[in-house]
Amino acid sequence: MTFATTDLYDAHGDELQVVDPILKSIGGRARFSGEIATVKCHEDNSRVKERLATPGGGKVLVVDGGGSLRCALLGDMIADDAVRNGWEGVIVFGAVRDSEALSRLDLGVWALACTPRKSVRRGEGQADLMVAFGGVRFVPGQFVYVDRDGILVASRRLLNH
């Protein structure tokens, strides 16, 4: 897949939301895009694990972890599941772990930071609802486009895959 977020912005700027530059690229895939799926959770990655264990079909999971840096919501084992299940990437408003392993996976991963501390699974969290962070709203069924220049959100598919 070849695109540049800068070119997409130049062509469709009025239709796009641009995520504030608060997240950093950690995964092995520098450029990715797909339909948005969402999880909202706080220091409990139960819903993240569940969702990435299902067929991704080229989607991107957007995780609203409330910006907490106290524990990781994604690590290498869950990310391995995501790759096996066809997910394009994971965007985490929170922390991840196993950054060396994540950097070798064919998966886009963006997050606020890394921490070695894992989350506790209590079965909490919600999926498939609108989440907001970085100055934008992520709505399931909309589309996200990511490269080293940043993250764009569009209400419709801009590229044919």
Residue 111 lies in a domain: yes
Q: Which domain holds residue 61?
A: 5-154
Residue 56 lies in a domain: yes
Instruction: Specify the pTM.
Output: 0.97
What is the distance, to the nearest Å, from the Cα of residue 12 to the centroid of all Cα atoms in its chain?
Answer: 22
Residue 160 lies in a domain: no
Residue 47 lies in a domain: yes
Q: Which residues contact 100 (CB under 8 A, 6 or more apart)?
A: none
Q: How far is 91 from 118, CA to CA, in rounded Å?
A: 17
Q: What is the pLDDT along the chain (161 residues), one digit of tens a residue?
A: 689 999 999 999 999 999 999 999 999 999 999 999 999 999 999 999 999 999 999 999 999 999 999 999 999 999 999 999 999 999 999 999 999 999 999 999 999 999 999 998 999 999 999 999 999 999 999 999 999 999 999 999 998 75
Residue 159 lies in a domain: no
Which residue, among 36, 46, 59, has the nearest Cα to 154 in the 3D structure?
A: 36
**Do residues 160 and 27 touch, judged by C-beta distance below 8 A?**
no
Q: How far is 76 from 10, CA to CA, in rounded Å?
A: 35
Q: Which residues contact 49 (CB under 8 A, 6 or more apart)?
A: 78, 81, 121
DSSP string, 100-149: HHHHHSSSEEEEEEE-SPBPPP-S--EESS-EEETTEEE-TTSEEEEETT
Longest dimension (CA), the chain: 44
Residue 161 lies in a domain: no
What share of the chain in percent tops pLDDT 70? 99
Residue recorded with tokens 């999926």:
127
CATH of the domain at 56: 3.50.30.40
Tally the domains of the chain.
1
Q: How far is 71 from 118, CA to CA, in rounded Å?
A: 5
